Amino acid sequence: MTGVEAGTGTGVASAFAEARADGRAALVGYLPAGFPDVDGGIEALRAMVDAGCDVIEVGLPYSDPVMDGPTIQAAAQQALEAGTRTTDVIRTVEKIAGLGVPTVVMTYWNPVERYGVERFAADLASAGGAGLITPDLTPDFAPAWIEAADAHDLDKIFLVSPSSTPERVAMTTAACRGFVYATAVMGVTGARTTTSDLAGPLVARTRATTDLPVGVGLGVGNGDQAAEVAGYADGVIVGSAFVRALLDHPDDRAAGLTALTALTEDLAEGVRRA
């Protein structure tokens, strides 16, 4: 089953449900909008969908990405220097959601506030977006977003981490819709050579508080790592490795897309192998 076929509903839950019915984890792929440029980013995301991504995260490039590692920072900076705007992010979502795959935006909160919370929710929903991942916004500081998301039937995806107390895990999962994002690496994002031994226990703690799927992001960069994470998580979230596949071919877009497709196929095989 391809990523396009998996996205039969607008919400992220549909992709996780279909993956579960297949006896596997979902593959969630991230790229920032506007990288390498807006149209090139749409082309790259389309290749990821065709090669097996079940859910797409479209990053909103931000000038102060304190939680991102150097790979994603480099891509976001390139997008910003090319003039990528929030409206370009919405257009990217519209193009990818139009393929039939659940598509969410991942963003720091400041750009949403600047754009206007209600306006952002309305435009995201109008574009066919499924919801929003807010890494630096916690539910207790998110009443405006929760109200707007609920009004527009959007998924609210908050993060839990190994340092989250049991009370905060429960509070966070209670506010989520779609899935829960478990970030199992302490510190900034980025591909790693080994997966984190904190991820399994974090997933178990999270599942004890919710029936929602739990997706894990911890620097997965190949099919073997994806298979390992898929052994205990409902979703495997990959970002830096996809970005790196394009950064490694700055002057040959076709070669970058070939590398991106090969990586996606390897990861998609990995989540199925588990």
Task: Find how far residue 156's CA is from the centre of its chain.
Answer: 12
Alpha-carbon distances of 6 from 17, 179, 183, rounded to whole Å: 9, 16, 24
Q: Are 103 and 93 in contact (CB under 8 A)?
A: yes
State residue 52's pLDDT score. 98
- What's the CA gap between 245 and 136, in Å, rounded? 26
State residue 68's pLDDT score. 66
Please give the DSSP secondary-structure letter assigned to residue 163: T
Active site residue 81: no
State residue 72's pLDDT score. 85
All structural domains of the chain with their residue ranges: 3-273
Which residue in 37, 39, 54, 68 is the catalytic one? 68
Tokens of 102: 């659940």
Which residue in 57, 123, 155, 266 is the catalytic one? 57
State residue 187's pLDDT score. 44
**208: Cβ contacts below 8 Å, ≥ 6 apart:** none
pTM, to two decimals: 0.92
State residue 9's pLDDT score. 39
State residue 66's pLDDT score. 55
Per-residue pLDDT of the chain (274 residues; tens, 9 = 90+): 333 333 333 589 999 999 999 999 999 999 999 999 999 999 999 999 999 999 999 999 987 655 667 888 888 888 889 999 999 999 999 999 999 999 999 999 999 999 999 999 999 999 999 999 999 999 999 999 999 999 999 999 999 999 999 999 999 999 999 999 999 764 444 454 445 688 999 999 999 999 999 999 988 999 999 999 999 999 999 999 999 999 999 999 999 999 999 999 999 999 999 7
Please give the DSSP secondary-structure letter assigned to residue 170: H
Task: Tell me whether strands 55-59 and 103-106 are parallel, antiparallel or unpaired.
Answer: parallel
Active site residue 167: no
Of the candidates 253, 260, 190, the residue with the CA atom closest to the CA atom of residue 46? 260
- What's the CA gap between 248 and 246, in Å, rounded? 5
- According to CATH, what is the number of the domain 3-273? 3.20.20.70
